[in-house]
Amino acid sequence: MRIVGDVLVTGEGSVTLRSHAPRSPVTRTETAARLPDSPFAPASVRSLFPALSGAAEVYLDSAATTQKPLPVIETIQRYHSYGTANVGRGTYPWATGLTARIARIRERTAAFIGAEHPDEVVFTGGATAALNAVALSWGLTALDDGDQILYNATDHASNVYPWQHLRGLLARFGRRIELIPYQVTGAGEADTDDILAKVTDRTRLIATGHLHHVFGAVSTLEELRGRIDPAVLLCFDCSQSGGHLPVDVTTLGADFAVFAAHKMFGAPGTGILYCHRRVHDRLAPFLPGGNSAISPDPDGLRPGPMPALLEGGTPNIPGILALGSALEVLESFGLDAVAAHNRALTLRLIDGLRSVPGLDFLPGPAHAACEVGYGIVSFTLDGISAADAGFVLSELGFLVRTGAHCVPAATGGAGSVRVSTHIYNTPGEIDRFVACVRSIAEEVT
């Protein structure tokens, strides 16, 4: 993929982009002089992350999953080693103690994401499960024939396929909904002007990625406030922003928001689904079963209160406990400090790569009108495929993601190289990475 004018060219076509004003060229010396100092020394925190302790490789794939700190690892081990029990069922101390801990973690999670009430937090099997829960628990019951959902076709497949699946399910019952894609800007953000042009009186939901998993741009949809019907629901995929920068779902005006624990120092298989209280009465059970807040009714199942309504079955107890420990670690660093560190590394990376021959940035901070960065940068190199570039980089000790990055609109394309950072990365690692990319570029051009 590459940008040609205002178009992102992929293997199967193109996605129209609207560019911000072009960013003025900045020299490396000028930018470096403005970069803030790191709020902490990443090397000093590496002792918290066993996989990085003494590792020769440089891990630059935190958008795929983050490394796990010792408190998270130890929490999982303790659950399986001492007092293993289920939650919400037994009346003996092991079970009741775990039930109380899960309740406290729910409260802590609500505070962490800016939710006003703990019952707005649902624990799921991951961000993908959370987005499917929105589609199935809300969409199947709330949408009528002719209703519309606006979405970003370049978002992660988990924020595209559930809506397509929902459309197919509803069609089987004679309800035909429309999925309307909107454009993104040259800076990789949701194009709110295009969204406004496409909103109609049948629009029921707008879905967007808060921090784009490839472009590394933040979309808050703030420009839509007061300009669209407040009945239109907003669904944010916060899989990349959660744990990387401060996220406040109330400030975002979110009705739904999803988070992936494994991308915020937690364990795989655990997700967070935020559901604003105003939508609770429109939700149907997602996984009816043991411990669900539902009861038999002559006409079917009678839904009960949230969040148990969407949490049927045994939850991922060690995963939720690990999430609690992950939040403690993140809070100990401070999300503002984490965001500042990632911004400094992002600007350093972009500035270093600008002069690499044959390198093209995908939409994102490199094309923004001001200096922003959230830890994700993607690019292509002339003369070498993304997959081959990634292989060479790995041989040189740099672990990055390559390919289409689960973007449905890019399926079949050559893909790109994605670099993603976190607190355990250093400016020195970025400089060495840039030097390696430059060497590869000079070899293939």
Q: Position of tokens 């744990």? A: 243
Inter-residue contact 316 to 126 (CB < 8 Å): no
- Tokens 């996220």 found at: 247
Using CA of residue 151, residue 241, residue 324, residue 120, what is the dihedral sign? negative
The three-state secondary structure class of 255 is coil
Kindly state the greatest CA–CA separation across the chain.
73
CA–CA distance, 356 with 444 (Å, rounded to integer): 12
Measured between alpha carbons, how far is 407 from 101 in angstroms, rounded to an integer?
37
Which pair of structure tokens corresponds to residue 106?
A: 């729910």
CA nearest to 130, candidates 230, 242, 244: 242
Contacts of residue 257, Cβ cutoff 8 Å, sequence gap at least 6:
113, 210, 235, 236, 237, 238, 247, 249, 273, 274
Can you say whether residue 405 is alpha, beta or left, with left for phi > 0 and alpha for psi between -120 and 50 degrees? left
Q: What angle do CA 14, 375, 391 make, to 5 degrees?
A: 70
Catalytic (active site) residue 235: no
Closest by CA position to 342, among listed 373, 377, 378: 373
Q: How far is CA 278 from CA 254, 283, 400, 434, in A?
A: 11, 10, 41, 48
- In sequence order, which residues have a C-beta less than 8 Å from that of residue 125 and are 6 or more positions away? 269, 270, 271, 316
Q: Which residues pair with 398 in a beta bridge?
A: 58
**Angle of helix 70-81 versus helix 317-333 axis, rounded to 10:** 150
Annotated active-site residue in 235, 238, 275, 406:
406
How crowded is residue 12: how many other Cβ atoms within 10 Å of its Cβ?
11
Cα–Cα distance for residue pair 20/247, rounded to 1 Å: 24
Q: Which residues make beta-bridge pairs with 17?
A: 184
Say if residues 156 and 215 touch (Cβ distance below 8 Å).
Answer: no
CA-based torsion, 127, 244, 26, 392: positive or negative? negative
Residue 139: how many CB atoms within 10 A of its CB? 25
Could you list the active site residues?
Answer: 406
